[in-house]
Amino acid sequence: MDKIAEEAKKIVGEGYVVSDPRILEPYLYDKTEPHVRPKPAREVILIKPGSVEEVSEIVKLAFNEGVPVFPRGGGTGLAGGAIPTKPGIILSLERLNRLSIDRENMVADAEAGVTLGRLIEESEKFGLYFPPHPGDEGAQIGGLIACNAGGSRALRHGSMRSSVLGMQVVLPNGKLVNVGNKTIKNNMASNFLHLFIGSEGSLGIIVRSFLRLYPKPMHSATILVPYGNVEKAVDSAMKMLWAGYVPLSLELVDSRSMKRTAEYLGLGWKYGEGEAFLMVVVSEPNRDMLYAEIEGISAILSEGASGEPILAERKEEQDEILKIRSEIYSAYEKNLFEGLDVSVPIGEAIRFIDSLKKIEEKYGVKFPIVAHLGDGTFHPDILMDSLDREKLIKVREEIYEAAVYLGGSITGEHGIGYTRKPYADKYMDDGLKRLMIAVKRTIDERGIMNPEKFVP
Ligand SMILES: Cc1cc2nc3c(=O)[nH]c(=O)nc-3n(C[C@H](O)[C@H](O)[C@H](O)COP(=O)(O)OP(=O)(O)OC[C@H]3O[C@@H](n4cnc5c(N)ncnc54)[C@H](O)[C@@H]3O)c2cc1C
């Protein structure tokens, strides 16, 4: 690696090639739970290019030497995707952080290292907003695209895939390719855009992107509805969807998780009683539209409810409810073996919850019921409780089995990365596996790009 380091210094400058283990340490991990993340390789160097051209030169160097490259964004991934599992280069995109907002076309022109937090902030200055919102705003645009990240607003606006119009990618041989542009429709070529989105760094480095923005909705409200059990909550939610309402988000949470998180945050719980809650966020350009939606949704959701819906309109109140929901993961983190993100077709939600209950009974465990119900993604976090590792792995496998049995997926959001690879290998269609391997071999002929991840 010494030779690579010396050559890299000529490209990016002495200060941006790091071998010091103390500085390297935080780049060896992401946010994957310590109990399940892979052991990082130590014979790595960290390189921080400052421009697209520098990324290209570094990747060419790696290609010529046959050295693995591990693309790294904000390190918020939850499947070990950014962890360097072999000796090689950690390529951090943090210095590629140029961002401009094209207000007229409602498009952000963002380099890969721009954080989600900054994109949101800058867009707001132009009266615009970027809908995808996976939990951690430290995630970078390159990482969000590479993982096709989701979050609670996917119900109305889709995952990252729906927000990317165009991209520049440095291929594994160092050459630059432009896919897509600022247009919403573009049928000029095969759709490689969507091949790179969600490819988790296995096919190249995303260096720049055109992202679709929307006018910021001026009015929003959060409706919290209590239910006697989760099944009743799901039933009401389905009725609402069938009635044609598509709110910004539709979340299902059990009251134990909400109360525990409120306590963890030092906030009192003042949002009513029930076994489970539906949390619906509505946002519209004007008050009339907003109130019509609130009225329609509340009428449907009240039917099976165990109490009156709570309507939060003040920003502080909405922010507090959202914060409690968003921090559930953190509230459980200390006792967490692994956070899952399985998805099922929306009509299978009740059957999936039933399967979770059977697994709970069998192993004497209790999962938080937390779901982006509107798109069928569940986060049944596996807590350490009193089980040994072998049993915890069995619990994980039974949850995967239940989701796949119902026509779902082992991951709706966080991706395959390293930790889910054996299960993706198990459940993926054989023909699809062959295609993925063939595409990988064609684009990454030397197999240097994020090896041991994502591809079967
Ligand atoms: C508290 C918390 C809540 C979360 N909630 C959600 C959620 O609701 N929904 C959801 O979908 N995710 C969620 N996540 C997961 C995470 O935020 C996403 O996976 C995010 O997309 C990762 O972005 P990153 O920049 O941190 O990427 P990293 O973790 O650095 O990398 C992730 C993967 O992308 C690759 N990569 C990074 N940058 C590039 C690039 N420029 N080009 C090519 N490949 C690249 C890496 O090699 C790796 O494989 C959550 C994470 C946390 C910690």
pLDDT digits (tens, 9 = 90+) for 417-439: 999 999 999 999 999 999 999 99
Task: Tell me, in angstroms, the distance from the centre of ligand 1 to residue 29's CA.
Answer: 12
Predicted confidence (pLDDT) at residue 32 exceeds the cutoff of 90: yes
**Is 300 strand, coil or helix?**
helix
Q: Predicted confidence band at 385 (pLDDT cuts at 50, 70, 90)?
A: confident
The predicted complex's ipTM stands at 0.99
Per 3-state DSSP, the chain is made up of helix, strand and coil in percentages (nearest 5) of 40, 20, 40
Q: Predicted confidence band at 135 (pLDDT cuts at 50, 70, 90)?
A: confident
Which residue has better confidence, 384 or 148? 148
DSSP assignments along 16-48, one per residue = GEE--HHHHGGGG--SS-TTTSPPPPSSEEEE-
Q: Where are the beta strands (DSSP E) in 348-411?
A: 370-372, 377-378, 382-383
Pocket probe for ligand 1: among 29, 30, 54, 78, the residue whose CB has the most ligand atoms within 8 Å is 78
Residues touching ligand 1 (Cβ under 6 Å) are: 30-31, 70-78, 81-82, 93, 112, 134-136, 139-140, 142-144, 146-147, 149-151, 200-201, 205-206, 329, 413-414, 417, 450, 453
Q: Does 99-215 match 335-415+423-427 in CATH topology?
A: no
First to last CA, the chain: 27
What pLDDT shows up at residue 387? 77
What pLDDT shows up at residue 285? 93
What pLDDT shows up at residue 299? 97
Task: Tell me, in angstroms, the distance from the centre of ligand 1 to residue 226's CA.
Answer: 32
Q: Predicted confidence band at 117 (pLDDT cuts at 50, 70, 90)?
A: very high
Predicted confidence (pLDDT) at residue 406 exceeds the cutoff of 90: yes
The CATH class for the domain spanning 99-215 reads alpha beta
For ligand 1, atom 53, name the residue with the nearest CA: 76
Of 392, 260, 276, nearest to 339 (Cα)?
392
What pLDDT shows up at residue 144? 98
Would you kindly state where each structural domain of the chain is located, as residue ranges?
Answer: 2-92, 99-215, 219-329, 335-415+423-427
Q: Does domain 2-92 have CATH number 3.30.43.10?
A: yes
Architecture of domain 335-415+423-427: 2-Layer Sandwich (3.30)
What pLDDT shows up at residue 62? 98
Q: How far apart are CA 386 and CA 366, in angstroms?
A: 11
Q: Predicted confidence band at 1 (pLDDT cuts at 50, 70, 90)?
A: confident
What pLDDT shows up at residue 9? 98
Predicted confidence (pLDDT) at residue 239 exceeds the cutoff of 90: yes
* 291 burial level (CB within 10 Å; 0-12, 13-18, 19+): middle
Inter-residue contact 131 to 157 (CB < 8 Å): yes
The average pLDDT across 291-296 equals 97
The average pLDDT across 269-291 equals 95
List phi, psi (to 5°) of 431.
-65, -40
Q: What is the CATH number of domain 219-329?
A: 3.30.70.2190
| Mean predicted lDDT score pLDDT of the chain | 96
What pLDDT shows up at residue 173? 98
The average pLDDT across 70-91 equals 98
pLDDT digits (tens, 9 = 90+) for 76-85: 999 999 999 9
Q: Which atom of ligand 1 is nearest to the CA of 413?
A: 11
What pLDDT shows up at residue 231? 96
* 456 burial level (CB within 10 Å; 0-12, 13-18, 19+): middle
Element (H, E) at 56: helix 52-65
Task: Tell me, in angstroms, the distance from the centre of ligand 1 to residue 116's CA.
Answer: 11
What pLDDT shows up at residue 13? 98
Q: Which atom of ligand 1 is nearest to the CA of 30?
A: 29
Task: Tell me, in angstroms, the distance from the centre of ligand 1 to residue 75's CA.
Answer: 7
